[in-house]
Structure 1
Amino acid sequence: MRIIFALFSLLSFTVFSQDINQLAEKHIQENSIQILQDFKTLLSIPNVAFDLPNINKNADHIIAELNKRGVETKLLRMVGTPPIIYGYYPVKGAKRTLAFYVHYDGQPADKTNWTHDPWEPTYYSKAMSQGGEPIDFPTNHSQIAEEHRIYARSAGDDKAPVITILTALDLIQANKMKATSNLVFFFEGQEEAGSRQLQQYLNDNRALVDEIDLWLFCDGPVHQSRKPQLVFGVRGVTGMEITTYGPNRPLHSGHYGNWAPVPGQLLSELIASMKDDEGNVIIEGYYDDVEPLSDLEKRAMSSIPLIDEGLKKELAINDPEGTESYNERLLLPSLTIKGLSSGNTGKLARNVVPATATGSIGMRLVKGCDPEKQKDLVEAHIRKQGFHIVREDPDQETRMKYPKIAKVTRESGYPAARTSMDLPITQDVIARTKDIAGEELILLPTLGGSLPLYLFTDELKKPAIILPIANHDNNQHAADENLRIENLWYGIKLMSALMTMDK
């Protein structure tokens, strides 16, 4: 009888494994209107991290929704900081614990740049860029098309995963199924503000997170080819501001031009010296610490579709940096000029030699690169170009002593992180995701963007995988952020599959 029961259990799971798409499709069809309304309600609550009253409204709303589904919840609080929403869904007999990380805060939004109010969700027939027009939210499933979009702040980054997780729990419970892992829900409220207290939250609540076997980060877009992907790492991030100096006050360019040093020119020449004509960073040692890919990661990279030509057309770029493909460039640390400032332009331009020029440099790091060391390398390069580095604006004595002065203001940052694709638990996730995505699933070693993933992989010593669901053209962080409806449905299927993952 034990053998028969074991065989029956195995057969039941095999059938379910094959039918997860069908079950999810049925649930979505029967509940799509309510799902969209729930999403609309959540998106209607402003969620800028520094707006604590509204951030707390978001937290209270999400906790209430988790409680409805039998999740044991608590708010982890620190004074003056957005709370962490913690939920625990224990499963009797489960031998593993999966944690789903989501951030419920979003980027600030300047309403003057948006077509509609960013916190008044608007339903569109398709993307605005493709000629889509606003239409009423649907009242039955037949009115919903996969190319429909919802426009609102955090539609793509990062409230969609909250709705997909809640709906996945509904699906499991409605079909009288059982999750196969203990589930932890860890929703952060200040990721877009730098996750400044995240490490402290983790340190103060180690008892709540120590049992977790795998972190699943629900953030980011699917591949630009629209194919689904799993991501096993992120780039780190840091940066600095550089200010160069000319005269101690702005000077008339007619009287002093051709004589007084121009800080904008000094800064431009300095920045230009950091990269070659193909866009490669030529600062000594900048690429030296890059950790190579494993054989499995190299094979995964070789199967990722090349999207360079499509991206060039979409973004109107004739000549991208580097000779490698887009995918390969993500595996190198980058150095980007985020902004330059000196004097004025346009109608406000004046005939002056400005006193200063400032450039903001962003640096994305890959596995192996230490943020402080990378900034040290940049500073060493600045010195090699003949600049004396200061940390405060120079006084008269310093100005007279050195011909070229650069004030360097170093920004904080964090390292890159990457989880091995070879781990048994990551192989389980890959196999289960293919039940939803099929063999076209892309396995990406490193995402171009940054998340504080190192706190989990390096500090907690736990593997982490990113589960992107948003469309790649979701206008993340920008005006008219949006989510494609088919991507929302995909997220529901994915969360349901992983919550019922075998073993």
Structure 2
Amino acid sequence: MTTDYASYLEAHRAEHLEQLKALLRYPSISTDPAHRTDVLQCAEFLAAHLREIGLEHVELLPTGGHPVVYADWLHAAGAPTVIVYGHYDVQPVDPLHFWTTPPFEPDIRDGRLYARGASDDKGPTFMHLKAFEALLQTEGALPVNVKLCIEGEEEIGSAHLPAFLERNQDRFRGDLLVISDTTMYGPGQPSVCYGLRGLAALQVDLRTVNRDLHSGIYGGAAPNAIHALTELLASMHDKAGRVLVEGFYDDVQPLTDEERRAYQQLDLKETDYAKALGLNGADDLVGEPEFSVLERVWARPTLEINGIYGGFEGEGTKTVIPAEAHAKITCRLVPNQDPQKILDLLEKHIAAHTPTGAHVTVQRMDTGNPYVTAFDHPAIQLAAEAYTHAYGVRAVFTRMGGSIPIVETFDRLLGLPAVLIGFGLDTENFHAPNEHFHLDNFDKGLRTLCYYWKALPKAMEAS
């Protein structure tokens, strides 16, 4: 038995990547009932692997939807108990024609592993398993007690997990929550995330006439559902991109002066940011102009139209006046904003701005509360130190524009401080075609995690 986890990880790197590829081959798309068996088989694969590396009490726990994969190792007397959260479900893969290689046939190109779930979140979750394996194999024990909660519904809003945690509070008692489902600030620049935006989603279904109509016979008299819907949606923003829904910003918790200074010190080049998106320059960016780009994407709320459809969508032309049109909307929320209140405000706005001749129904969908924590906790500061050990640079502290709704649930139910220690990059196309994970971060991230677990007991003594 060697005592050097870094040497162990290097010696077993090829094996570990093949195991990760096996995990990525499961099309565990949680939102699609056609993949329900694939999701279950992915969970079973993880459970078998957890047993293989030496974790105990491995179970697939029912939730009312896709199961939670649970495992623990509880033999570190006097050491803290850590809940490690991740998810094994993935987003749909459409549009398929944009993928260079099939989404569930993992492929390594130019130091990157391409597959759906490579970065979000199978790759980072799998890294925790490999870090635990390395420590068990090189030291014979883990320095901390661990409990794993790997769910299968994160990509559909963790619909069943809050109630599951409510029922299983005793099982998940601990001292700390650790998650690797966030991104780093940039290549070679790790970051510790201390805040996440919340979520409120809804679908708008608009109808005008009682059927699709011939545009020659009825055009000029009959109301067009797509025209009406686009008019309604246009009422939600001004030309700069500010949200015009009355009351939308009322409860927003403003950034502190310290946070604004910290974001300025990151010195984001907004022109470069815009050009990386294929835009001409910073003037093409949208949003509240009185806030910087980092402030807009990390600490300000948004209202985005994610999809709009109706009428004829096939090849060629079909001269119809569509009778119905639909839109999907999500809002990213910041501290003090309540998802249900935001949905109330949106419904009120829609009712007030529905064009003449149109009838609208609204379906409420996913919600999640925003989360921000103080980053002076010793366990959070240790994450920055662990990054420094592996990357050779000090981590910065950031928020993230995305949402992990269950973080707030863990905090509310169990009072667990959360350490968000991620290894992905914003450019890795999660939720999009050609999702990938940089293997440099796979290697350095494993060393980061091993260092973190070994140093955690001493750091927690100060908390």
1:476 corresponds in structure 2 to 430
Offset, 1:70: 2.8
Within the candidate set 188, 208, 218, 1:256 is matched to 218
Within the candidate set 309, 319, 328, 2:295 is matched to 328
Within the candidate set 99, 105, 108, 1:120 is matched to 105
Offset, 1:386: 5.8
C-alpha distance after superposition, 1:111-148 (max 9, x if no partner)? 94333333322222x2xxxxxxxxxxxxxxxxxxxxx1
2:190 corresponds in structure 1 to 228
Q: What amino acid is aligned across from residue 88 of structure 1 in structure 2? A: D
Q: Which of these two proteins has the greater Rg computed from alpha carbons?
A: 1
Establish whether residue 36 from structure 1 lines up as the match of residue 17 from structure 2.
yes
Offset, 1:348: 4.2
Cα gap change, 1:25 to 1:424, in 2 (>3 Å): closer
Instruction: Give unmatched runs, 5+ long, in structure 1.
Output: 1-19, 127-147, 388-401
1:197 corresponds in structure 2 to 160
Cα distance in 1 for residues equivalent to 2:22 and 2:357: 60
Within the candidate set 325, 343, 358, 2:326 is matched to 358
Cα distance in 2 for residues equivalent to 1:493 and 1:249: 62
SS of the residue 2:57 aligns to: strand
C-alpha distance after superposition, 1:255-292 (max 9, x if no partner)? 33222222222222221121111111122211111123
Cα gap change, 1:360 to 1:108, in 2 (>3 Å): closer
Offset, 1:346: 6.6
C-alpha distance after superposition, 1:390-437 (max 9, x if no partner)? xxxxxxxxxxxx755322222241221122213343333333433334
C-alpha distance after superposition, 1:329-377 (max 9, x if no partner)? 1211111111222322574433232222222212111111111111121
1:383 corresponds in structure 2 to 351
1:448 corresponds in structure 2 to 402
1:419 corresponds in structure 2 to 373
Percent identical residues: 30
Cα distance in 1 for residues equivalent to 2:309 and 2:22: 41
Q: Residues 64-213 of structure 1 correspond to what in structure 2 (within 5 A)? A: 64-78=48-62, 81-109=65-93, 112-113=96-97, 114-124=99-109, 126=110, 148-176=111-139, 179-210=142-173, 212-213=174-175
Establish whether residue 59 from structure 1 lines up as the match of residue 43 from structure 2.
yes
Cα distance in 2 for residues equivalent to 1:60 and 1:366: 36
Which has the higher mean CA deviation after the structures are superposed, 373-382 or 70-79?
A: 70-79
Cα distance in 2 for residues equivalent to 1:122 and 1:303: 37
SS of the residue 2:170 aligns to: helix
Cα gap change, 1:181 to 1:301, in 2 (>3 Å): farther
Task: State the superposition RMSD in angstroms.
Answer: 2.6
Cα gap change, 1:289 to 1:225, in 2 (>3 Å): farther
The answer as to whether partners of 2:24 and 2:116 remain within 8 angstroms in 1 is: yes
Aligned residue pair count = 445
Cα distance in 2 for residues equivalent to 1:282 and 1:63: 48
Following TM superposition, where does structure 1 have runs of at least 4 consecutive aligned residues deviating by more than 4 angstroms?
Answer: none
TM-score under structure 2 length normalisation? 0.87
C-alpha distance after superposition, 1:289-322 (max 9, x if no partner)? 1123345544543333415322321221240112
Offset, 1:217: 1.3
1:3 corresponds in structure 2 to none
The answer as to whether partners of 1:235 and 1:367 remain within 8 angstroms in 2 is: yes
Q: What amino acid is aligned across from residue 325 of structure 1 in structure 2? A: S
Cα gap change, 1:470 to 1:244, in 2 (>3 Å): same
C-alpha distance after superposition, 1:171-227 (max 9, x if no partner)? 3234427644222222112222332221222122211112x1111111133224552
Cα gap change, 1:216 to 1:305, in 2 (>3 Å): farther
Q: What amino acid is aligned across from residue 170 of structure 1 in structure 2? A: E
